[in-house]
A = this chain, B = another copy of it.
Amino acid sequence: MKPYALFTTEERRKEYAELREKYQKFQALKLNLNMARGKPGMEQLDLVSDMLAILIDYGNYVIDGIDVRNYGELSGLPAAKRLFAEILGTQPEEIFVAGNASLQLMYDLISKAHTHGLLHSERPWCKEEKIKFLCPSPGYDRHFKICETFGMEMITIAMTPDGPDMDTVEEAIKDPTVKGMWCVPKYSNPDGIIYSDGVIDRIAAMKPAAPDFALMWDNAYCVHEFEGEFVPFRDMLSLCRAQGNADMVYEFASTSKITYPGAGVGVMAASVANQKYIASLVTYQTIGFDKINHLRHVCFLKNKAHTLELMQRHAEILKPKFHAVLDSLKNEIEPLKIAQWTQPKGGYFVSVNSMPGTAKRIVALMKDAGVILTGAGATFPYGIDPNDSNIRIAPTLPPVEELKQAMEVFCICMRMAALEQLGIE
């Protein structure tokens, strides 16, 4: 095997014909595989089944004098606040424990910014002519979709191996209509990189022109190593506070990939002033969230050390899956020099940059072979990848054997698309 760039047209044609034959054989298998979303696999779900029974010991319902079965405690069960404060390295009074997902907390914060404004807003965002948001890309499609549904203008910020390109960010925030920025600081979605200390310090020190700039710090994968030891992360609330930016940051986390996706607990960490302001708005929305589920999590996860032990058990399940992806890419693609990809040690994705102009084609070929990938472009604002190159691979749901098969097809599709791009006529 040699790089495709060195292939003659004749060699490309021959290679393509062979690949097409293999591809057609896979098509005949009528596969039905899904690598589109960061969905935990069945084994991971089974890992936490004990949680469902953890409250059956009657009399366990009162904690800190609060009967978790009745109404109340708008901002969450105090014991749950202590648990997540320990995990995130913040203070309990900086924690809001809500419903089943952090996505909803993010959406609701942006929604309230539009209807009521944030703590330092001059007016609700819906009364502003224009709202712009910084979107480090490739990034999480659901972040971008929130911007889209609220009609915000998204500004693409390039990702570097250290995090967002801060030169561009620091320039962009001089515009007072730039109201916020999405960040996934640890095991970024999809690249799986960890923001460097330098980048984090520069983010914490930002002085945006907008007084109500919202740093959306989505710490979705804060304890989600699948390889190696737990990597400590810095408390962004303290860092921002030290820079006089205490109210700029809203940190999000959830147990969706610790306990149950959809039946976990979503958390927002923010300054006490922000917590107070947000509670003053949320009090019209709900009497309180599911404290029984809060207590279930407190009893099951216990504390940070115990949570990290659980994450190691998730890692044992996930590591072979990620290796199946990475090994396949290394063996089948690397020698051909037609793509680059990240080598994450945590998070839920492998980010592949195929030959420019081929991502859409690859996803379409995969679909015709029965394997669903995240849509090409989804990792960029408005779903448009300027290079048509980035593909997000989510290897967590399928069992390893199926995953290996899916990756075989994937490598064939990548090669076919690259050859088409290089020319086979």
Which A residues fall within an 8 A CB radius of B? 37, 39-40, 42, 45, 49, 52-53, 55-56, 58, 61, 67-72, 99-101, 103-104, 107-108, 111, 114-116, 124, 126-127, 142, 145-146, 148-150, 256, 260-263, 281, 284-293
B116 touches A149 (CB 8 A): yes
Q: Most B CB atoms within 10 A — which of A61, A69, A289? A: A69
8 Å CB contact of A290 from B45, B148, B284, B290: B290
Task: Please classify the interface of chain A as helix (H, G, I), strand (E, B), loop, or mixed, using the class held by over half of its residues.
Answer: loop
Report the separation of the CA atoms of residues A286 and B101 in the bound assembly, to the nearest whole angstrom. 7
- In the complex, what's the smallest C-beta–C-beta distance from A410 to chain B, in angstroms? 22
A49 touches B45 (CB 8 A): no
B292 touches A69 (CB 8 A): no
- In the complex, what's the smallest C-beta–C-beta distance from A78 to chain B, in angstroms? 15
8 Å CB contact of A100 from B40, B261, B289: B289
A262 and B126 in contact, given A52-B56, A53-B53, A290-B99 (Cβ under 8 angstroms): no
- In the complex, what's the smallest C-beta–C-beta distance from A280 to chain B, in angstroms? 9
Report the separation of the CA atoms of residues A356 and B176 in the bound assembly, to the nearest whole angstrom. 54
A52 neighbours in B (Cβ, 8 Å): 55-56, 292
A262 touches B114 (CB 8 A): no
A146 neighbours in B (Cβ, 8 Å): 284
A70 and B284 in contact, given A111-B111, A115-B114, A290-B290 (Cβ under 8 angstroms): no
Name the CB-closest residue of B to A296. B52
In the A-B complex, the 7 residue pairs with the closest CB atoms? A263-B292, A53-B56, A149-B284, A107-B285, A126-B126, A45-B69, A71-B261
A281 and B149 in contact, given A262-B70, A263-B69, A287-B101 (Cβ under 8 angstroms): yes
B287 touches A103 (CB 8 A): yes
Other contacts beyond A104-B286, A261-B287: 9, CB < 8 A = A45-B69, A52-B292, A69-B260, A70-B262, A103-B287, A115-B115, A115-B150, A262-B287, A263-B292
A99 neighbours in B (Cβ, 8 Å): 99-100, 289-290
B284 touches A145 (CB 8 A): yes
A71 neighbours in B (Cβ, 8 Å): 37, 39, 256, 261-262
- In the complex, what's the smallest C-beta–C-beta distance from A63 to chain B, in angstroms? 14
